[in-house]
Amino acid sequence: MIKFNKKIIQAPLAGYSCAPFRKIAWQWGQPDFCYTEMLSAKNIYLKVPIKKRYFFRDPVEGPLCVQLAGNEAEILAFAAEKIIEWGADLIDLNCGCPVPKIRKKKYGSKLLADSKHLYKLIRAIKTVVKIPVLIKIRVDGLSRDQFNCEVAKAIEDAEADAVTVHGRHWTEGYEIPVSYQDIAEIKQTISIPVIGNGDVSDTFSAKKMFLQTGCDALMIARASVGQPWIFEQIHQELQGRTFTKPTLVEIGDIFLFHIKELTMLEGESSSLLQARKLAKYYARGQVDNDFLSQVVTIGSYQELQEIVKRFFII
Ligand SMILES: Cc1cc2nc3c(=O)[nH]c(=O)nc-3n(C[C@H](O)[C@H](O)[C@H](O)COP(=O)(O)O)c2cc1C
């Protein structure tokens, strides 16, 4: 049984989710739990060497949900047992990924097309682990596929501990607004906790997700990049309390800390590439565009430090 505290979770984000990213979320926002990005159960089963980034858990992190992608019961059960050794507090089965190469392997959102098979996969995982098992799905959306209730019932019958619902069909991109109605329909169909996901970026949209869907908790993906305090901010503001955001100097320090931790995990060249990608999120709406053009030229952590100190000032 999952117990929510803040009722806000950090979503899996391939290319972003790793120990430094989660550590910062925990230090500044304390979501109920954070995710790894999607990991192939088959690669774990076949003992394909996995980069440290994908499985390393920092002792300073909060609760960790490890997300698996797979389609075979035996392989998922093996991987589920293995990731407990890595320190997983919760397990999630990805049933939402729309990427063609993932669907081609019959993983991700493809699992929504066969609820009987999905039931078997969840049972296989549930049989071997005692930690909570979550399922992350997408919805009918504008497709009229009519699978919401059938899939939700299969997940509940298989005794999954919660379901996260990203309120878009797998064919729908971010330009299509999230369907609160589909999430609400699932919430009304089952009695296990439903976590609402999609387009939550501030307290207004968080309130809307809770009110329009009746969800038990919500999950934030994109808006948490570069704003690790967002979980605490929404939590405080939903209770009518004032939240003071970190100062620009503090945000610059968080950015530098993020990159420093990535350097320790993966080495300097990889972390500098990620610094270029992350810079626009930390800078959003508050730092001059010159900052971004200078970040792409950096050749060392020290250079990054100098640029950040120049732009992130009060
Ligand atoms: C760059 C990126 C990577 C993602 N990686 C994953 C992933 O590994 N597993 C997953 O279930 N969802 C993944 N998602 C989907 C998000 O977890 C989330 O469901 C979606 O972005 C909607 O939430 P948001 O509106 O808060 O961003 C990813 C999304 C983005 C933008």
Q: Write out the two tokens for 172.
A: 């729908």
Look-up: residue for tokens 């797998």?
170
> Which ligand 1 atom minimizes the distance to the CA of 136?
11
156 touches ligand 1 (CB under 6 Å): no
> Which ligand 1 atom minimizes the distance to the CA of 37?
8
Distance (angstroms) between ligand 1 centre and the Cα of 149 equals 22
Q: Choose among 229, 254, 67: nearest CA to 262.
A: 254
Angle at 93 between CA 207 and CA 72, to 5 degrees: 160
Distance (angstroms) between ligand 1 centre and the Cα of 34 equals 12
258 touches ligand 1 (CB under 6 Å): no
Distance (angstroms) between ligand 1 centre and the Cα of 176 equals 15
If you take atom 29 of ligand 1, which residue's CA is the nearest one?
A: 13
37 touches ligand 1 (CB under 6 Å): yes
Q: What's 285's DSSP letter?
A: T
| Residue 177, amino acid | P
> Which ligand 1 atom minimizes the distance to the CA of 222?
27
pLDDT at 286: 86
Q: Which residues contact 5 (CB under 8 A, 6 or more apart)?
A: 32
pLDDT at 6: 97
CA-to-CA dists, residue 36 to 16, 86, 126, angstroms: 9, 11, 19
pLDDT at 78: 98
Is 75 exposed, middle or buried, given 0-12, 13-18 or 19+ CB atoms closer than 10 A? buried
pLDDT at 26: 98
> Which ligand 1 atom minimizes the distance to the CA of 108?
11
99 touches ligand 1 (CB under 6 Å): no
What residues in the chain have per-residue pLDDT under 50? Answer: none
pTM of the model: 0.97
Distance (angstroms) between ligand 1 centre and the Cα of 75 equals 24
If you take atom 21 of ligand 1, which residue's CA is the nearest one?
A: 221
Distance (angstroms) between ligand 1 centre and the Cα of 208 equals 19
If you take atom 16 of ligand 1, which residue's CA is the nearest one?
A: 221
196 touches ligand 1 (CB under 6 Å): no
If you take atom 10 of ligand 1, which residue's CA is the nearest one?
A: 12
177 touches ligand 1 (CB under 6 Å): no
Distance (angstroms) between ligand 1 centre and the Cα of 225 equals 11
Whether the CB-CB separation of 291 and 279 falls below 8 Å is answered with yes
If you take atom 14 of ligand 1, which residue's CA is the nearest one?
A: 13
SS3 label, residue 69: strand
Count CA atoms within 13 Å of residue 5 on its CB side. Answer: 9
pLDDT at 77: 98
* Positions marked catalytic: 97
pLDDT at 1: 79
pLDDT tens digits for range 7-44: 999 999 999 999 999 999 999 999 999 999 999 999 99
Q: Which residues contact 158 (CB under 8 A, 6 or more apart)?
A: 118, 119, 120, 122, 123, 126
Q: Write out the two tokens for 115.
A: 């609820």
SS3 label, residue 199: coil
